[in-house]
Chains A and B, each alone.
Chain A
Amino acid sequence: MKYMLIMRATDEGVEAYSEVPFEQVIEAMGKYNESMMKAGVLLAGEGLTDAAEGFVVDFSAEKPLVTDGPYGETKELFNGFWIIEVSSREEAAEWASRAPLGKGAFLEVRRVTEFSDFPEDNEWIQKEEGWREEQAQRAQQ
């Protein structure tokens, strides 16, 4: 089963983290990623740039509205993620708790859906499978 570890931090967390020397952050993250690679569980992982570079698409109005923010009620910003493949919820929790993060940081751990999570005979599920395949084929060309 696959889990996504979603990295989030409060403003204080981000601030505290920015005081740690960049080299140190890179090294700690590198070691963590390497340990998951050697354990054969790491499938993907990315960090995100500063939220100021991003923007928000708001669907509250009739027409989706693109704004620079603010990020509504969200007090914890989404800063990056890992996707790991493990054999149990507990194993995902164990890996998550080893992340080199500090005060003000959170990891939300969510299981990635699989085909078996959906009813097989649903028309939309079948259509989505078709879309996914087309996309993948296009990506390979």
Chain B
Amino acid sequence: MTPSAGTAAAHPSDRRSAERAVAAVWRIESAKIVATLTRMVGDFGFAEDLAQEALVDALRQWPSEGVPRNAAAWLTAVAKRKAIDSWRRRERLDDRIAVLAHDLEQEQADAVDATPWDPDAIDDDVLRLIFISCHPVLSREAQVALTLRVVGGLSSEEIARAFLVPTATVQQRIVRAKKTLAAANVPFEVPPREEQPARLGAILGVLYLIFNEGHTASAGSDWMRPELSDEAIRLTRGLAALMPRERDVHSLLALMELTAARFPARVDSKGDPVLLADQDRRRWDRDRITRGRAALARADALGGGRGAYGLQAAIAECHAVAASVDETDWERIVVLYEALGRIAPSPVVELNRAAAVAMSTGPTAALTIIDKLAESGALRGYHLLPATRGELLLRLGRAEEARSEFAVAANLAGNDRERALLAAKAADR
């Protein structure tokens, strides 16, 4: 193999391709690099800065010189040198300089294939990194930005594009998040046993939010941004490999795979949304369904019953294995929603239960649930409440009332394509 193995050598003239090659290495290595640096310099924010500066150097050099054989070692070594320089500039002449300098000498003497981290410690360090990125002192937005950039290796530009916000906003969120973590003196650690369920719950919440933002874009003109969902699945798969005994991680992975299996059928050739009932099920991704069911089986095998993600995955599984809407086991779905409503009560779950009741028992029973929900005011402003009510009224032959519900729903929808679909139903005669 040549020193410049990889794609940069294959297309030396194509700078964009070389930049993508750098990005590819970064996606694979960033978490391990930042985790290793955090352990070394003892400061997550400083470590992240160093890693980003090393990445800037790589983007400057690799397109012309080729991707080094051991890219991770190159990046880590550059970052360590920058740490030493920074400490010297600030005349912080502590022992760590000597330790890092010794490390660097040692690594230069080592074989080119040596990893720049301790293989026995790196998994734990990456876990620490995930926990710190989703730490409860941070806002949800900051957790999402940090997780995607530090753990997922996405650039601020990529995150900004995915969430339809200016790049500067993402950069500010990250800068502020690092300051918050420093101010709260958050340790770089896997939380103690008793705190783990809650802390892991926060991580899963962040991953699920990223996934959902990809498939029900809350704003803008695109109905789906599947690359965000793919990213969430990649991160969750990685977490499942790092925490194989955690039921909820496998459950969430199952939920994501089973939901994503339907993506190819969720938009038509014009990019308009297609509702579950109208989807061409031949387009569902059978491999994803198989993987999702396997992940749910792994979660079940760990025991302890199903949690909220497991129950939602089981509901998605009911849809995935049904050949059509009519052949769907709606009674089982109602039971699963009832269980979900008990362990994680929410008006959205209640709304979905109503939709399942409409299929298993009939629209009248469902309308009673919906009307109770509407009275409670819990979903005021949520377009799917009038949209579902409209569908039920339509089935009951109350077309005029249905149209006015669809009109209300269209006004509330944040997504352009969804709004158009609802407006069409409101105008339908």
Contact = CB atoms under 8 A, between A and B. Distances in A.
Interface of A: 34, 37-41, 43, 85-91, 93-95, 97, 114-116, 120, 126, 129-130, 132-133, 136-137, 140
Contacts of A136: 286, 289-290
B20 A88 contact: yes
Contacts, number: 82
B233 A40 contact: yes
B235 A87 contact: no
Given A88-B20, A129-B283, 9 more contacts: A37-B237, A38-B238, A41-B234, A89-B20, A90-B17, A91-B24, A93-B21, A93-B24, A129-B282
* Size range of the chain B interface in the assembly: 35 or more
Interface string B186-219: 0000000000000000000000000000000000
A137 B323 contact: yes
A120 B236 CA distance: 32
Nearest to B235: A40
What is the predominant secondary structure among interface residues of chain A facing chain B?
A: helix
Given A93-B7, A133-B286, A43 B281 contact: no
Contact of A85 (B6, B20, B234): B234
Contacts of B12: none
B321 interface: yes
A136 B242 CA distance: 30
B230 interface: yes
B238 A40 contact: yes
B282 A130 contact: yes
Given A43-B291, A120-B269, A132-B286, A90 B233 contact: no
B24 A85 contact: no
B42 interface: no
A94 B236 contact: no
Contacts of B281: 133
Contacts of A129: 280, 282-283
Contacts of B323: 137
A25 to B, nearest CB: 17
A94 B8 CA distance: 10
Nearest to B321: A140
